Amino acid sequence: MAWAKQLLLVAAGLPGFSLAQTPLEAAVSSDVRYLIGAAYRYSPEYFGARQYAGDIKPLWAVRWGRWRIATSGSSGLMGFGRETVDGGAGASRELFRNENFNLGFGLRVDSGRNSRDSESTQGLPDVKRTLRGRLFVGYTLAPSWQLGGSLSQDLAGRDGGLVWNADLRKQLFRSAGGELNLGLGVAGGNGRYMQSYFGVPEGPAAERLGRSYAPGSGLRDAGLGLSYTRSVSKHWVCFSSLGVGRLLGSAADSPLNQKPSSYSWSLGLAYRN
């Protein structure tokens, strides 16, 4: 979408954003912070897959002032116990933050989908690797309630489309070293995104799956998750999570949907300076 591209480019060009800075904002450290670790995740092969798979992925993140570069899930771990802003995977920059609100933008490489990776998606068009731009916001509703959302747009026009998500998080427990959170989220996409990941064009794949399918824009899925993060020491932090989800709307109607409900869990350990 052209407006999303223009908004991201404008945001990227603003060195300090136009909103008046608060003392909390101005206190952002210019020290270089880093994190390195690993996490094991067990989840479906793709949204709606019957088959599950587990893999170990590296965790790393670097932060300098308002800029961050991180793998998925690493940015929040680096800030645990110190701050609440999480720019997500890729390169991100915080534009504005005060006690209740934060706003930022990010760029990341989306690996897309290799259709040969799963037996169910073989014969479908691959989704090409692309560059995504992301705007994210967060708002503290109450001391233990946080609302967040983001828009992620394919900037290279490689059929990645637009994805959006919104989530509500409740802090169930917090101590000097640990935090237990419950989160509820919902996500969706525009027609291009839904067609790339849930569509089935005419051809051999459609014959194998029983029909062709052209989804429209709308909801993709909703999920409920429980996560626990703990500082083992000044430098070491560990985490675990358990989540359940369900496909919705045109994603649930896709012939690629073998099992609308799913679960996932993960464990990780990381070192931070």
| Mean pLDDT of the chain, nearest integer | 87
**pLDDT score of 88:** 76
Binned at pLDDT 50, 70 and 90, residue 246 comes out as very high
Spatial CB neighbours of 166, under 8 Å, sequence gap ≥ 6: 147, 148, 149, 185, 186, 187
Q: For 18-28, how does the pLDDT look when each residue is reduced to its tens digit (9 = 90+)?
A: 344 444 444 45
109 has pLDDT over 90: yes
**pLDDT score of 74:** 80
**pLDDT score of 4:** 45
Residue with structure tokens 């989908």?
A: 113
Spatial CB neighbours of 106, under 8 Å, sequence gap ≥ 6: 87, 88, 89, 90, 91, 92, 93, 133, 134, 136
Binned at pLDDT 50, 70 and 90, residue 119 comes out as confident
Percent of the chain exceeding pLDDT 70 equals: 86
Distance CA 35, CA 117 (A): 30
Q: For 1-14, how does the pLDDT look when each residue is reduced to its tens digit (9 = 90+)?
A: 444 444 444 444 44
**pLDDT score of 22:** 43
Q: For 228-243, how does the pLDDT look when each residue is reduced to its tens digit (9 = 90+)?
A: 999 999 899 999 999 9
**pLDDT score of 171:** 94
Distance CA 42, CA 40 (A): 7
- pTM, 2 dp: 0.84
Percent of the chain exceeding pLDDT 90 equals: 73
Q: Give the bridge partners for 178, in sequence order.
A: 230
SS3 helix, strand, coil % of the chain, rounded to 5? 15, 50, 35
